[in-house]
Amino acid sequence: MKKIIIIVNLLIINYLLIAQIPPGYYDGTEGLTGDDLKSALNNIIDGHTELSYTGVWNALKDTDEDPENTDNVILLYTGWSVSDSGYPIWNREHTWAKSHGDFGNDPPCGTDVHHLRPTDVQVNGDRGNLDFDYSDNPYTTIPGCFYDGDSWEPRDEVKGDVARMIFYMATRYEGENGELDLVVVDEVNTYPNPEHGKLSALLEWNTMDPPSVFEEMRNDRIYDNWQGNRNPFVDHPEFADYIWGSGAPAIIADFYADITVGNLPLSVQFTDTSVGENIISWSWDLDGDGYEDSDLQNPSFVYQNAGFYTVALIIEDNIGNTDTETKIDYVHATTASLPIEIFNESFESTISDWSIFNLSSDHDWEPSDDTTNYTHPSTVPDGDWYMYANNYGADEPANDWLISPTIDLAQFDDPYFHFEAWTKYSDTVAGLEVLVSLNFTGDPTTTDWTTLTASLPAQNSDNWQNSGDIDLNDFNGEEINFAFQYTSTGFGTNNTTAWAIDNLVIMGYEISSIEELNNSPNYSLSNYPNPFLINSAGTLISFSLPNNYNNTQIEIYNIKGQKVRQLAIRNLNSGINQVIWDGTDKNNSKVKSGIYLINLKIDNKNIIIKKCLVIH
């Protein structure tokens, strides 16, 4: 007899799936509440990279960029999309009013981008240094905003954003190392004290307006591009209640699966990672139908039908406390082939299986984690290490080789690979070639090499760039070695470049899955252009059907097998049909650069899957 499970908190779970939280970032906060949690979070996010107040202009152009128009920014209180040119169109608003503590425009408080936002100049002035609370008078310029003599109430769409910025400031600045001790309080008229309110309203706003995709993107960009720290309350808005509200629940449900994407029949082992004492029962809905499938702590389940499955766990302790964790579309079971990873190298561990040959000059390829020297990259695409070559200051022109270990493609079809490359300075030669060989035995000079075409950054660009997908079908079933050949015409200024390589990934399809997938002679699927630029008109998807199937779908998935978007199809007919994908997801936000899968589905069955590359 199955029991009905009530699935709750779907909105909270949905945005958590979007956030790009680095693994382990919040280690040490498990089970903490109150000042203990606040102190642990402070230790994680303090010591961030400080910007100048002038530098804030450039940061806000990136962090608050309009996803639909990269030349614009979104203003906080109005929601207007305006030119990113800055003043007099918009101001840098201190959400925690700078007079509340009198920190002005000085770092770290005055230039912390986590609470600085673009706002309309007039609105910025009218808000002034008011505390945040429910207010009485409509602000006629902006529908949904209110104000009175001691408070400002933003529109509903950003109430939670405001609350989480205030919570961040009160957690980041704890009076250490000569910094201010900022405190969020349950009152207004807090000027000029280093306090901000009103706590009770902010806690309500944090709950009623959970983080949006835009707010998550902003948090990621501040972390990745500017300050190197995150707003914990965007990643985990429940932390606010744990610190200032009713506190954490006595128990917290959580779990993970050993595999979340695979072909049918898909067997998945689930592991309970819930936190709390005296948990006595576990109730699992493993296929999203609202009914209990298991009461074991760590159940296994076999998925027999293709589709995306939501998984929910309810736990209960010995005094009746309960908690629920729900993961939307967590498991993807498919009858069609998804590419799998054949080889991955980000140079984080030993590179003893790679070969480095220095055929001329006394400089060669070397692993590096340097992001502070101006001759090196300032960021790393994956992890902390990368491979670096720079012949400046050598004794003669360079001819240096970085050669991969042998990679066996015997069990894969349609293989392809991509990597990230960075370069700086200039030379009369490109300085980097990408090659592949079938007969490398230890000496690159006696090896037959095939040059591959990769998208590489322009000289002196000082930016990482994805190579795009590089087709390896000419080497199906073979054992191969990759090589990166670094050359220079000299060893001084204007005749040598610096190059870096990272995050090399080889993907492919298992042959048995490909044979099954291609057994569909009455259907076709293609798209053009491929690859396509994210700011272009998109890619035209063409597909043919033997009959007029009304239950036909075109779906877009990312490389992890997560559904990105379902496209609307009009006037479906037998024969050729066409639909355009503009490179946006189901929230109309532009997807990131990378490989995506176009799926032709009929009667909820995957018929054909094709790869598509999106480039920014």
Cα(420)–Cα(382) distance, rounded to whole angstroms? 9
* Structure-token pair, residue 3: 């029991």
Number of domains present in the structure of the chain: 4
Q: Is residue 11 part of a domain?
A: no
| Mean pLDDT along residues 238-266 | 82
The verdict on 44 and 174 lying in the same domain is: yes
Judge whether residue 521 has pLDDT over 70: no
Characterize the bridge pairing of strands 116-120 and 90-94: antiparallel
Beta-carbon contacts of residue 446 (< 8 Å; ≥ 6 apart): none
Q: Is the pTM of this model over 0.85?
A: no
| 299-347 per-position pLDDT tens digit | 999 998 877 889 999 999 887 778 888 888 788 777 655 677 888 899 9
Same domain, 37 and 104: yes
Same-domain check for residues 375 and 347: yes
What band does 514 get if pLDDT is binned at 50, 70 and 90?
Answer: very low
3-class secondary-structure state, position 199: helix
Going from the C-alpha of 45 to that of each of 52, 104, 172, 229, the distances in angstroms are 19, 21, 6, 5
Distance CA 218, CA 231 (A): 10
Same domain for 438 and 389: yes
Give domain status of residue 26, yes or no. no
Q: Are 326 and 8 in contact (CB under 8 A)?
A: yes
- The per-residue pLDDT of the chain, averaged, comes to 87
Residue with tokens 């990272």: 502
559 and 418 share a domain?
A: no
187 and 301 belong to one structural domain: no
β-bridge pairing 386-390 and 498-510:
antiparallel
Contact 609, 464 (CB under 8 A): no
Q: Check whether residue 318 and residue 373 sit in a common domain.
A: no
Angle between helices 34-45 and 159-172 (to 10 degrees): 80
Domain assignment present for residue 432? The answer is yes
Question: Could you tell me if residue 86 is inside a domain?
Answer: yes
CATH number of the structural domain spanning residue 424: 2.60.120.200
Omega before 194 cis (within 30°)? no
Tell me whether residue 5 is in a domain. Answer: no
Model confidence at 474, in pLDDT bands (50, 70, 90)? confident
pLDDT in tens, 183-198: 999 999 999 999 999 9
Picking from 297, 318, 334, the residue at the C-terminal end of a domain is 334
Let me know whether 75 and 103 are in one domain.
Answer: yes
Is residue 10 included in any domain, yes or no?
no
**12-32: per-residue pLDDT in tens?**
333 333 346 888 899 888 878
Of 487, 511, 535, which residue sits at a domain end?
511
Q: Are 355 and 228 in a shared domain? A: no
CA distance 62 to 74: 11
pLDDT at site 131: 97
> Are 137 and 62 in the same domain?
yes
Q: Is 141 helix (H, G, I), strand (E, B) or coil?
A: coil
As a whole number of angstroms, the distance between CA 98 and CA 267 comes to 56
**Tens digit of each residue's pLDDT (9 = 90 or more) over 445-471:** 999 999 999 999 999 999 999 998 898
Q: 310: domain CATH number?
A: 2.60.40.10
Q: With respect to residue 24, please indicate whether it lies within any of the assigned structural domains.
A: no
Q: What phi-psi label fits residue 431: left (phi over 0), alpha (psi between -120 and 50 degrees) or beta?
A: left
Give the CATH number, domain containing residue 605. Answer: 2.60.40.4070
Contact 409, 472 (CB under 8 A): yes
User: Which of 558, 381, 568, 535 minimizes the C-alpha distance to 17?
Assistant: 558
Domain co-membership, 227 together with 272: no
Helix (H, G, I), strand (E, B) or coil at 480: strand
264 vs 64, more confident: 64
User: Alpha carbon of 294 to those of 232, 238, 265, 297, 319: distances in Å?
Assistant: 34, 28, 19, 8, 22
Phi, psi of 436 (to 5 degrees): -140, 145
21 falls within a domain? no
Is residue 84 predicted with pLDDT exceeding 80? yes
Last residue of a domain, one of 244, 274, 294: 244
State the amino acid at position 79 in one-letter form: G
Shared-domain flag, residues 70 and 208: yes
The residue ranking higher by pLDDT, 72 or 588, is 72
Domain that holds residue 485: 340-511
455 neighbors 417 (Cβ within 8 angstroms): no
Task: Give the integer Cα–Cα distance in Å for 492 and 496.
Answer: 6
**Structure tokens belonging to residue 45:** 């996010």
Sheet strand arrangement including 539-545: 524-528, 539-545, 575-581
Count of other CB atoms within 10 angstroms of residue 321: 14
Q: Is the pLDDT of residue 390 over 50?
A: yes
* DSSP H or E stretch at residue 72: strand 69-74
